[in-house]
Every structure is written in C-alpha cells, then in structure tokens.
Structure 1
Amino acid sequence: MPELPDVEGFRRVLASCGQGRRIERVDVADPGVLRGVSVRRLREELRGRTLAEPKRHGKWLIARTDGGPALLLHFGMTGELLCCPPDDPPHPYDRVLLALSGDRGLRYRDLRKLQGLRLAATEADIDRILDRQGPDALAVDRDTFTQLLAGRRGRIKAVLMDQSVVAGLGNLLTDEILWRARTAPARPANRLGEDDYRRLHSTLRRVLRSSVRDGRVPDRPSWLTGHRDDPDPRCPRCGGHLRRDRIAGRTTVWCPHCQNGAEAG
C-alpha cells in the first residue's frame, strides 16, 4: 500500500516529468477512478494547462496547474504514478493518462481502484478535500505530536494509522516505527509517558527520512519490514519470534520481547 514515502516518490516523478509542461491530452481509460468529476469536465479543465510545482500532504498528491484547477491524486492500496512516453502501449491497469508537451506522459495506474482522482477548482476546494487530514507526518513537530497522541484512548497502532491524527502513516511504517521505539502496538496512546512520546517522534522522523530516500519503506535485513513476510519471522534485534496480530483491521507484526512485552500498557 502506498504510504508517505511512496507518495513523496510519486511527487518527484510528477515534478521531474511534468512540472512546466503543458497537458496536451487527457485520456481516461477507466472512469471508475474519477471522484466527483466527469470525464468531460476533467478533459476540458486540464487540457492546455501547464503543470506547476506539485505538493504532497500525507498520502495525497496535489498537482496544481498555472492559473487553473488542481488535480488531487490518492493511490489507495495499489495505485502508482509513472512517467513514460505518451505513445507507449497502455498497461491493463492504466486508468488515466496525461499526454504532455515534449513527448512526456504521466499515467495513473491502479489495480483495485479504491481511491482515485479529484479536481479542485480553488484553494478552498483543496482545503475542503483535505479537511479531515491531520498534520503531515514528515512535518509534525514533537509538541503537536505529543498533544495529538495524549488525547487519544485508542491503541497506539490504530491512532498512528488514523489519517485525521497524523497524515501519511500506513501499516508498514507504523509497525516499523513502533518496533524501533520498543512500543507495543496495542498500548493505549493516552497511557504512554513523555519519554515514550519523545522516542516515538524521533523514531518517526528517522524512519521517514530513510524511507523517503528510498521512495518506499525499505525491506532491509536490519528492519522489521525485511522480515515480516518470512515463513518463520524473527526479530532482527533480539532474534526472538515475531508475533502477528490483527489491530485496526490490519496485520500487525511486532516483537513481544523488545516492544515492552505489554499489549495493554
């Protein structure tokens, strides 16, 4: 599932491939990924516009145009953004294609189509679409982070994955951060101490910086992510057996020995 590092990678794709280029043609292969906008309106509003510097907030990518609307992209579980010549043969999961000046093309590719593309005519429309998003995980400061978590009674794994609390964290990032911070995923967020919040925030920043450089959550041998899918997954820190649980509807992998050994705090 694309998380903040993946979407930051897509932002770089959009910047290097599209920024400053004119949209010559909009092809919609599957209207099922359009949210709140028709195929006709998408074409009419975007054709002839020049792509401006893209921005990202959490898992959302914001493709502004000079003097025109913004295209907001969310990648759901399986989406991605690719740069390729506009005349390349289409992939079966290419849903929307933008042909750009200079023989460039952008493709929104998605297998499951759980999210998609929205069009925002004004900055107020962008704010409305992103209204329920919390602060971006890469930018949130420690005091704000602490206040957000201390006021939540849910389990820390579920709270960190709640996009209205902190935007950008998904299943892999959250498990990695909690493992590195030695915090059990089922501990109530509001029952952590100041040292816990401080450690979680500093760990979050380190994990995100490293992941953003890779454009994804890396599956290195020294990372929990590198072992979560092993047949007999073991902790890369202590060598103990990793445990799989279901928290917030997602498969959660953690080390009972390293992560406080306390599910309930």
Structure 2
Amino acid sequence: MPELPDVEGFRKVLRSCAKGRVIRHVDVRDAGVLHGVSVRRLREALEGRRFTEPERHGKWLLARTGGPTLVLHFGMTGQLVCARPDDAYEAHDRVLFTVGADRQLRYRDQRKLQGIWLADDASDAERLLDRQGPDAMAVDREEFESALSARHGSVKTVLTDQSALAGLGNLLADEILWRAGLRPTTRASDLTEADRRRLYTQMRHTLRSAVSAGRVPPRDSWLTGHRDHPDPTCPRCGSPLRRSRVAGRGTVWCPRCQGNGS
C-alpha cells in the first residue's frame, strides 16, 4: 500500500515529468477512478493548462495548475508513472495526461479503491483534505504529542488514523513502534512524555530514510525486512516476532524489544 514515502516519490515523478509542461490531452480510459467530476469536465478544466509545483499532504498528492488542482489518492495499489505517449498501455492505466510533445503522466491502479478528484481552487482543495491531520513529515513535536495524548485508542491506531496524523500506514507504524520500543496495543493516552518524544524522534528518522528510498525499504536491519518471513525474527534481538491484529490491521512486533504495556 502506498504510504507517505511512496507518495513523496510520486510527487517527484510528477515534478520531473510534467512541471511547466502544457497538458495537451487528457485520456480517461476508466472513468471509475474519477470522483465528483465527469470526463468532459476534467478535460475542459485541464487541457491547455500547465502543471506547476506539485504538493503532498499525507497520502494525498496535489497537482497544481495555477487554477484547478488535480487531487490524487493511490489507495492500496495506485502509482504515478512517467511514460512516452507511444509506449504500450498497461492493463491498469486509468487516466493518461499527455504533457508537452513527448511525455505522458499515467495514473495506474489495479484495485481502484481511491482515485482522482478535481478541486476548482485552493479553498476547494482544502475542503477535500479538511479531515486530514497534520502531515507526518511536517508536524512539530508539540503538535504530535498533543495528538497522541488526546486520544484513548491504541498507539498504533492513532498513528494510522489519518485524521490524527496524515501519511503513516501499516508498515511505517509497525516500523516506528519497533524502533521506539513501544507495544502497538499500548493506549496512546498512557504514553509517558519520554515515550512520546522517543516515538516522535523515531518517526522522523524512519520517514527521512524511507523517503530517500522512495518507499518503506525491506532492509535486513529493519523490521520491514523480516515481517513477511515464514518464521520472522527480530533484527535487533533475534527473538521470534509476533503477529496479531490491531484495529483490524495485521501487526508485527517483538515481545522482547517492545515489552511495555499489556
């Protein structure tokens, strides 16, 4: 599932592929990914405009044009690809934006759980994202600690709640909690000040590394590099990792390194 590092990578794809280029044609191959906008309206709003500097908030990507903004969410299987207009189509290429004479930005998504919206102006884009919490890369420590202490659910539930903190998904939450030595089921409101500060620090370190990699990397020194093994062990202490479900999400953790709480 695309998380903040993946979407930051898509932002860079959009920037390098399309920034400053005229949108010559919008080809909607599957209108099922459009939300609240018709194919005709999408074309009328975008064709002839230029993509400007794109922005990201959490798992959302905002493709600015100086007028209407294309707002994209990638669900579980979405991605943004830079191709040439004459490249063969992939089966899951849903919307194609031909930019300039020789490039094509492709919204590709197998499962179509999210998709594309069109915001008429900046205030309309803000309304689309008004239920999102602060971006996990931009949030300061005070705001982060306040969000945690104000909620009574498990710390993993809070970390993956996009209205509390935007951008973290299942892999990142497990990785960050493992690095911070905190059990996923610990109530967020029960964390000490030292716990919250350690969690914030590990979140920042993990995100910086993952953004540099363009995804949550399955490195051998990371929990992510072990979680899918048949009999996974902790890369820190060698203990068998446990699998459970927290708020309906598959969760992997180390009972020795994350032994706090119940």
* Range of TM-score over shorter length: over 0.9
- Alignment partners' CA distance in 2, 1:22 and 1:260: 55
Q: Point out 4+ residue stretches in structure 1 off by more than 2 angstroms.
A: none
Partner SS for 2:156: helix
Alignment match, 2:4:
4
| Deviation of the 1:140 alpha carbon | 0.5
Offset of 1:234 from its aligned partner? 0.2
TM-score, scaled to structure 1: 0.98
Structure 1 SS opposite 2:177 = helix
Q: Does the CA-based 8 Å contact 1:46-1:69 persist in structure 2?
A: yes
Q: 3-state SS of the aligned residue for 1:221?
A: coil
**Displacement after TM superposition at 1:102 (Å):** 3.3
Looking at structure 2, the residues matched to 233 and 260 of structure 1 have their Cα atoms a distance apart, in angstroms, of: 17
1:61 paired with 2:61, answer yes
Please tell me the residue identity of whatever aligns with 1:28: V
Q: Distance in 1 between matches of 2:237 and 2:181?
A: 12
Could you tell me which runs of 5 or more consecutive residues in structure 1 were left unpaired when the two chains were aligned: none
Matched residue SS, 2:8: helix
2:195 is aligned with 1:163:
no
Task: Tell me the alpha carbon deviations over residues 154-202 of structure 1, each in whole angstroms, 9 at most, x when there is no partner.
Answer: 0000110000000000000000000000000000000000000000000
The answer on whether the counterparts of 1:86 and 1:100 sit within 8 Å (CA) in structure 2 is: no
The amino acid of 2:212's aligned partner reads R
CA-CA distance at 1:260 after TM superposition:
2.1
Q: Which residue identity lines up with residue 64 of structure 2 in the other structure? A: R
Give 1:49 deviation, angstroms: 0.6
Q: Do 1:86 and 1:98's aligned partners in 2 also have CA atoms closer than 8 Å?
A: no
Paired residues, number: 262
Deviation at 1:261, TM superposition (A): 4.6
Q: Which residue of 2 aligns with 1:34?
A: 34
Question: Structure 2 CA distance, aligned partners of 1:193 and 1:260?
Answer: 15
Aligned to 2:71: 72
* Worse-superposed segment, 99-108 or 191-200: 99-108
Letter in 2 for 1:181: A
Three-state SS of the structure 2 residue aligned to 1:24 is strand
Rounded to whole Å, the distance in 2 between the matches of 1:261 and 1:254 is 12
Q: Tell me the C-alpha RMSD between the 2 structures.
A: 0.7
Look up the equivalent residue of 1:88 and give its one-letter code.
D
Letter in 2 for 1:32: G
Query: Which residues of 2 match residues 1-265 of structure 1 at below 5 A?
Result: 1-66=1-66, 68-262=67-261, 264=262
Q: Deviations over 1:109-161 (max 9, x none)?
A: 00000000000001110110000000000010111100000010000001100
